């Protein structure tokens, strides 16, 4: 068994699992965002009020920015999990991760101030925005092949 045949076997296996691994990345990223971050801000011990609280880059906008972050992290992540309006939901979540990094974790390098998770989530949600929801999504069921373009 030569190196070429081993490489061919790995390539065939990778091709078969490409779609399911993409769906798994989309669903698990959305679930981790929803349960690990959004739930606590919306319903858990760190529940945020709608008004007051954290300001927005030094501006008092009257609405608690952590509540807005929790809303996006919970409800918009549900859209990512379901694959419904996936590109818009992923883009909004990626923008939120940029805001989280700039507002709470700003440092020369992400690991210097706890910003690596925001950076990883940003990269994942930008990839979901770029590649779309995949064939096992509500977007694909409702809008057809255009959802996966």
At 96, give phi and psi (nearest 5°): -60, -40
pTM: 0.80
* pLDDT score, position 31: 98
Per-residue model confidence as pLDDT tens digits over 109-118:
767 777 889 9
Q: What average pLDDT does the structure give for the chain?
A: 84
Tell me how far apart the alpha carbons of residues 1 and 86 are, in angstroms, rounded to a whole number: 44
Both tokens of 17, joined, read: 């699992």
Q: Where are the domains of the chain?
A: 25-148
Averaged over successive runs of 10 residues, the pLDDT of the chain (149 residues) comes to 69 78 95 94 75 58 78 96 96 94 76 84 97 92 70
Q: Confirm if 139 and 89 have CB atoms less than 8 A apart.
A: no
Per-residue model confidence as pLDDT tens digits over 22-46:
999 999 999 999 999 999 888 887 6
């Amino acid at each position: 068994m030569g190196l070429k045949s081993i490489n061919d076997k790995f390539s065939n296996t990778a091709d078969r699992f490409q779609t399911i691994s993409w769906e798994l990345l989309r669903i698990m990223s959305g679930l981790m965002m929803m349960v690990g971050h959004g739930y606590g801000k919306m319903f858990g011990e760190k529940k945020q009020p709608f008004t007051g609280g954290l300001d927005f880059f030094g501006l008092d906008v009257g609405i608690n920015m952590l509540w807005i972050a929790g809303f996006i992290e919970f409800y918009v992540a549900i859209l990512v999990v379901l694959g419904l309006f996936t590109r818009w939901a992923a883009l909004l979540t990626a923008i939120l991760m940029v805001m989280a990094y700039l507002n709470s974790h700003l440092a020369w390098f992400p690991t210097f101030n706890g910003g690596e998770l925001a950076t990883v989530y940003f990269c994942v949600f930008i990839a979901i925005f770029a590649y779309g929801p995949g064939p096992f999504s509500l977007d694909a069921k409702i809008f057809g092949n255009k959802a996966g373009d």
